[in-house]
Amino acid sequence: MPTSAELRAIARKSLSGNWLPAVGITLLYTVIIGVLSYIPYIGGIGVLLLGGPLTLGLITYFVRLVRNERPLVGVLFNSFDRFAVSFLVYLLVQIFVFLWSLLLIVPGIIAALRYSQAFFILRENPKIEAMDAIRQSKEMMKGHKGRLFVLYLSFIGWAILACIPFGLGFIWLYPYMLAAQAAFYEDLKGRTVITSD
């Protein structure tokens, strides 16, 4: 299995020559979600409604980037034709992670890792239902949650540097992490056989 360093190397290779559009799409996503969240009274509803299709668009961009397809930033808005299912995946994952988090932080982290592949699976399967995407993520992550957790931990040093000055480094770190997550998914899907109920 590829190490965290190897996955990060794949991410850097896919970002080579593509840093500006990758930064652009992550910045656009962050600004939209951030602005929505600050709108009084209805902001949370706006994030909930748009978070699903926008997250699916963001995931699609980085999966295609890791596959050397050179996607356009407009991909961020291409998933609104799958609004219902992406909204449900977003909503259900938020609910499940929140409920597990009530049992303390560690169960919440484990739940977030367990369901981390749901949007990748949704992206790959146009006809899949929301709960099936979540179930398949849970299946795929059996025995691999530790790998993904270590991958996240491997960015801690970069995150500390990104805080200087004023957190501006996260503009570059976030696409790097998303590309590494896409590389992780690409490796994981080749190792997993999903059985249907």
| pLDDT tens by residue, 5-15 | 999 999 999 99
pLDDT for residue 167: 76
The stretch 149-170 carries a mean pLDDT of: 88
- The verdict on whether omega for the bond into residue 21 sits within 30 degrees of 0, i.e. cis, is no
DSSP string of 115-153?
TTTHHHHHHH-TT--HHHHHHHHHHHTTTTHHHHHHHHH
Greater model confidence, 11 or 166: 11
- Residue 164 in tokens: 């200087």
Token pair 């049992």 is found at: 103
pLDDT in tens, 25-74: 999 999 999 999 888 888 889 999 999 999 999 999 999 999 999 899 99
- Residue 121 in tokens: 């699976």
pLDDT for residue 70: 86
- Residue 58 in tokens: 């963001």
**CB 56, CB 123: distance < 8 Å:** yes
What's the Cα-to-Cα distance from 20 to each of 13, 54, 170, 175, rounded to whole Å?
Answer: 14, 19, 14, 10
CA dihedral 73, 74, 80, 86 (to 10 degrees): -10
pTM higher than 0.75 for the full model? yes
Amino acid at 13: K
Using CA atoms, how far apart are residues 9 and 187, in angstroms rounded to an integer?
13
Angle, CA of 13, 160 and 106, to the nearest 5° = 95
